[in-house]
Chains A and B, each alone.
Chain A
Amino acid sequence: MGSINLSQSIQEKQALARGKFFDKGFFINATVLLLIVSAYATSEWYLSRLEAELLSLQTSSADKTATLNGPTVNRSVDVRNRIVTIVANQKRNMNPQLVFSDLERIVVPAITLTGYTQSNAFGTVDIAGMTINLRYLAQQMFAFKRLEGVQSVHAESIKYNEKTSNIEFILNLTLVSSGSEPTL
């Protein structure tokens, strides 16, 4: 048979129950919660500090970057660009010494040139001349054809001049359009 403690009053019972509610476990839980809240507060503070630091760095970078222009920069870039263009274009022009030495080397003795026009813009050479025999002209065309840098040789006109008793001709040479310097 169960016993009832009749010696405890109702107030004592309530106090006992309260004491059990705020026991050791409650305080441990409360402490953990407090630590978590503190960690959150600390992270908020640290985050705001980082944001301030980042903003300061961004402002500083933007200010300094804005100073990276002006006459000094313009001048340096301009000189560099001019040098690059100069180098590219110096290689583009043909050397007349090479052209004329090729011409002197390749012209058949029985041929006399009356005109020489080289167009670098179109990569063509027009050669006018005269000779006494068609055989020499054929030899000359063959010689031009064998020359390095010449793609094709076309006889634009061949005619006999009764006044001078010479065969007058005009040849069109097409040059190879490679990166190498065209000769002739």
Chain B
Amino acid sequence: MKLKILILPFFIIIELVFIIGYIKPNYDAITTKQSEITLQKDALSRVDSVAENIGAIHQALENRSDIVNFIDRYYPKSLDEERVVDMFNYLAQQSGIVVSEVKIKKNVKSQVVAVESPLPVVEDETMGVSVVATEAPEEPAESYEVTVSVLGAYQNLKDFFTRVYRSDRLHFTKEFSIMVREVDVEQAEKEATQGIQSNFLSASVVVDFDYIKEKRVANALNIPMFQSSDFDFKDAEEAKTFVTNLLPPVQSDEVGKANPFE
């Protein structure tokens, strides 16, 4: 009979041990896992959505190749000194002025506005994997400085500067100047034969031209532009409208010579 008295407390203790020691932690773990699964499903659906948006944006860029080509031309990926030399020659001809000197030097540091993280990155911890670094570290654009000296009448110089301002090549005009030339009679006569008139002013413009190579993106998941399937071309359209002096592409009419020194 004495043993029977111990049965009820024994069962209660065993049950409590199970409930507190095993079932409760499992219940907590289940709740946690369920919320993790919900988060994971959301993240997965976001990944799917971003993948779809990448496709849609790519298609949009394909459809607007005119704008994309303009962007590539306007802000190129590589050094394009030949194009800039051709540009100044073309614009000078259009303005009726004479190019007297062109100096080009490589800049150590970019002079364009440093765009602070055009596409801010948001960290995401809901993913089971580490998706933090989405873009390569911001590298400054490379640039070169071109100093062009020209001769021309005041109205033509004005026209030249305006054409440079609206040319289809990203640039930053660091300095420009116009000077009255002091020419003696003998020199004036000599210049007249070359089409340089006595009322011509000398002018110069110092311009920085930037270029930047395409960067590698580590992961698109947290890049804001891929949270939507639309690509906004408004700014690009405005930039294209701003440019009124589209330059012809640089082409070689003919190449090849039997004696290059003759």
| Chain A, range 29-65, C-beta contacts under 8 Å to B | 29-30, 32-33, 36-37, 39-40, 43-44, 46-47, 50-51, 53-54, 57-62, 64-65
Could you say which residues of chain A place their CB within 8 Å of the CB of B236?
83, 86
The binding surface of chain B is classed by DSSP as helix
Q: Which residues of B contact A17 (CB under 8 A)?
A: 1
Q: Does B200 contact A (CB under 8 A)?
A: no
- The answer, yes or no, to whether A8 is at the interface (CB within 8 Å) is no
Q: A97 → chain B, closest Cβ, in Å?
A: 5
**How far does the alpha carbon of A36 sit from the alpha carbon of B235 in the complex, in Å?**
67
- Report B26-47 residues with CB < 8 Å from chain A CB: 26-27, 29-30, 33-34, 36-37, 40-41, 43-44, 47
Complex: chain B residue closest to A87, CB-CB:
B235
Across the interface, do A86 and B74 meet the contact criterion of CB distance under 8 Å?
Answer: yes
B90 at the interface (CB under 8 A from A): no
Cβ contacts under 8 Å, B111 to chain A: 121
Residue A115 at the chain B interface, CB threshold 8 Å: yes
- Interface segment among B48-56, B98-106, B189-197, B248-256: the answer is B48-56
Asked whether B48 lies within 8 Å of A53 as measured between CB atoms, the reply is no
- What is the bound-complex CA distance between A89 and B4, given in angstroms? 92
In the bound complex, residues from chain A placing their C-beta under 8 Å from that of B19 are 36
Chain A residue nearest to B205 (CB atoms) is A96
Bound Cα distance A39, B24 (Å): 11
What secondary structure prevails in chain A residues at the interface with B? helix
Q: Which chain B residues lie closer than 8 Å to A115 at the CB level?
A: 177-180
Among A19-27, A132-140, A142-150, which stretch is in contact with chain B? A19-27
Q: List chain B residues, Cβ under 8 A from A66.
A: 129
Interface size in chain A (residues, C-beta < 8 A): 69
Choice from A36, A62, A82, A120 contacting B128 with Cβ under 8 Å? A62
Q: How many whole Å from A14's CB to the nearest CB in chain B? A: 12
- Considering the complex, which residues of chain B in the window 217-258 have a beta carbon less than 8 Å from any beta carbon of chain A? 217-221, 223, 225-226, 231, 235-236, 238-239, 242
Please name the residue on chain B nearest to A64 by beta carbon. Answer: B47
| Docked CA distance A69–B215 (Å) | 12
Verify if B22 is at the interface (C-beta below 8 Å from A).
Answer: yes
- Whether A85 touches B3, Cβ cut-off 8 Å, given contacts A72-B58, A96-B161, A97-B162, is no
Quick check: A33 and B176 within 8 Å, CB to CB?
no
Q: Is the CB of B129 within 8 A of A61?
A: yes
Say if the beta carbon of B85 comes within 8 Å of chain A.
no
**Chain A, residue nearest B214 (CB):** A78
Interface string of B148-182 (1 = CB under 8 A from A): 00000000001001101100001111111111100
**Do B221 and A68 touch across chains, with their CB atoms under 8 A apart?**
yes
Question: In the complex, which of the residues A58, A67, A96, A113 contacts B158, with contact meaning CB atoms closer than 8 Å?
Answer: A96
Q: Determine if B113 is an interface residue (Cβ-Cβ < 8 Å).
A: yes
Residue from B129, B221, B225 within 8 A of A77 (CB atoms): B225
CB <8 Å contact, B33 and A65:
no
Cα separation A58 to B126 with both chains bound (whole Å): 10
Other A-B pairs beyond A77-B135, A81-B215, 15, CB < 8 Å? A17-B1, A25-B8, A43-B22, A54-B40, A65-B47, A66-B129, A76-B225, A82-B212, A86-B74, A93-B172, A94-B165, A94-B173, A96-B164, A116-B177, A128-B179
